């Protein structure tokens, strides 16, 4: 496996048809029916106009419309940042989602790695002072760790672009530690996505929040009509109070189900669950390397951990689902570890 292939690997490859999917972190049962109906009613004969979506997202995050750019998924936001932000020393805080790094590499700006060790909580002093473009996830994929907002604030400074990937922030009760509304931090960019909570991975819906000058520069690097009409309608719909209330309820329910799964997995001899999980998945260390392979033979897709910088073959990432799925999975992992060790 080349480093490029490693970076390009995502859970959707692990989640083969017929397996119980614990590899992809999209909320089960989404998109909800009300959202499907809104999308089905969208007029697609016209070119898309992002004005209403931009206003709705700005209001949701108490920002100005000039501070919002709707993108073709968070993935496009990373590409635009890679292309439009000059950087002598880009830095990637790992382990984290690999698309930002792929975008930087594609733009000829391969980043230096700052690799956090367990408990995987950000120590701002680990980031070199002269780093002028820093990417960090909050909560982070794959560790599920939520960094304190103050640790992120300590990274912001004039002359540096600080990108906080908040693709999972709406899975956190009250979105605490989110910097989406922060307008006082120089160079701050917050990246958000509608993929996970709303089940819109295939629609491609994300956005950026940043100072107006940077938004204008990123918009200039973006293809015209990058955000399609359905994606724009999703931005409006998912910013409405009914949607934010639904997301808040999901975040609360998720915390209970995640604790249940963490307890069940931690009870297996030799299995260790990273503490402080805040996202809809757990990072798990197992006594058996490449356990994702025998688990696949037993009907489960989990995300292999070895492609993430800083992790190795004894790590897996496991999505939180319903209690019965968690119980059955824990039993299967226990049996696999016992039989294959
Ligand atoms: C941390 C993180 N950021 C961003 C993304 C990509 O989001 P989108 O589907 O909006 O491109 C993902 C998807 O897996 C992710 O895990």
pTM for the complete prediction? 0.97
Q: Please give the number of the atom of ligand 1 that sits closest to the Cα of 140.
A: 1
| Cβ neighbours of 86 (radius 10 Å) | 9
pLDDT for 7 equals 80
Instruction: Read off the tokens for 241.
Output: 């109070």
pLDDT for 60 equals 97
**Residue 185 confidence class, pLDDT cut points 50, 70, 90:** very high
- Residue 299 Cα to ligand 1 midpoint, Å, equals 25
Q: Is the pLDDT of residue 5 over 90?
A: no
Contact 198, 27 (CB under 8 A): yes
Q: Is the pLDDT of residue 10 over 90?
A: no
CA distance 85 to 104: 10
- Residue 75 Cα to ligand 1 midpoint, Å, equals 6
Give per-residue pLDDT as tens, 87-116. Answer: 999 999 999 999 999 999 999 999 999 999
In whole angstroms, how far apart are CA 257 and each of 19, 191, 253, 308?
21, 26, 6, 25
CA distance 16 to 272: 26
Containing H/E element for 68? strand 68-71
Q: How many helices (H) and strands (E) does the chain have?
A: 13, 12
Measured from the CB, is residue 206 less than 6 Å from ligand 1?
Answer: yes
CA distance 199 to 300: 20
pLDDT for 63 equals 98
Share above pLDDT 90 across residues of the chain, in percent, rounded to a whole number:
94
Contact 70, 235 (CB under 8 A): yes
Strand ranges (DSSP E) for 204-314? 206-209, 272-273, 281-285, 300-304
pLDDT, average across residues 9-13: 78
């Amino acid at each position: 496996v080349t480093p490029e292939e490693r970076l390009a690997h995502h859970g959707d490859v692990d989640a083969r048809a017929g397996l119980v999917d614990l590899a992809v972190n999209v909320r089960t049962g989404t998109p909800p029916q009300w959202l499907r109906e809104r999308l089905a009613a969208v007029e697609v004969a016209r070119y898309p106009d992002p004005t209403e979506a931009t206003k709705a997202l700005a209001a949701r995050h108490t920002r100005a419309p000039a501070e919002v750019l709707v993108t073709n998924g968070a993935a496009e936001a990373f590409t635009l940042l890679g292309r439009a932000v000059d950087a002598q020393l880009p830095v990637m805080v790992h382990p984290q989602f690999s698309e930002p790094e792929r975008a930087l590499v594609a733009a000829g700006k391969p980043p230096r790695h700052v690799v956090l060790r367990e408990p995987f909580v950000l120590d701002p002093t680990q980031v070199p002072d002269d780093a002028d473009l820093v990417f960090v996830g909050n909560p982070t994929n794959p560790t599920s760790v939520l960094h304190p907002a103050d640790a992120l604030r300590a990274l912001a400074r004039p002359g540096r672009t600080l990108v906080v990937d908040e693709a999972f922030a709406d899975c956190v009760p009250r979105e605490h530690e989110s910097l989406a509304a922060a307008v006082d931090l120089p160079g701050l960019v917050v990246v958000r996505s509608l993929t996970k909570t709303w089940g819109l991975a295939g629609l491609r819906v994300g956005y950026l929040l940043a100072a107006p000058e940077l938004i204008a520069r990123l918009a200039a690097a973006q293809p015209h009509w990058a955000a399609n009409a359905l994606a724009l309608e999703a931005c409006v719909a998912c910013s409405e109070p009914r949607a934010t209330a639904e997301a808040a309820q999901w975040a609360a329910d998720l915390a209970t189900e995640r604790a249940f799964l963490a307890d069940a997995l931690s009870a297996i001899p030799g299995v260790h669950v990273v503490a402080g999980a805040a996202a809809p998945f757990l990072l798990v260390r197992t006594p058996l390397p490449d356990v994702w392979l025998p688990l696949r033979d037993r009907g489960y897709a989990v995300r292999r951990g070895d492609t993430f910088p800083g992790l190795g073959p004894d790590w897996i990432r496991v999505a939180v689902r319903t209690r019965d799925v968690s119980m059955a999975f824990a039993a299967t992992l226990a049996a696999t570890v016992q039989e294959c060790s």
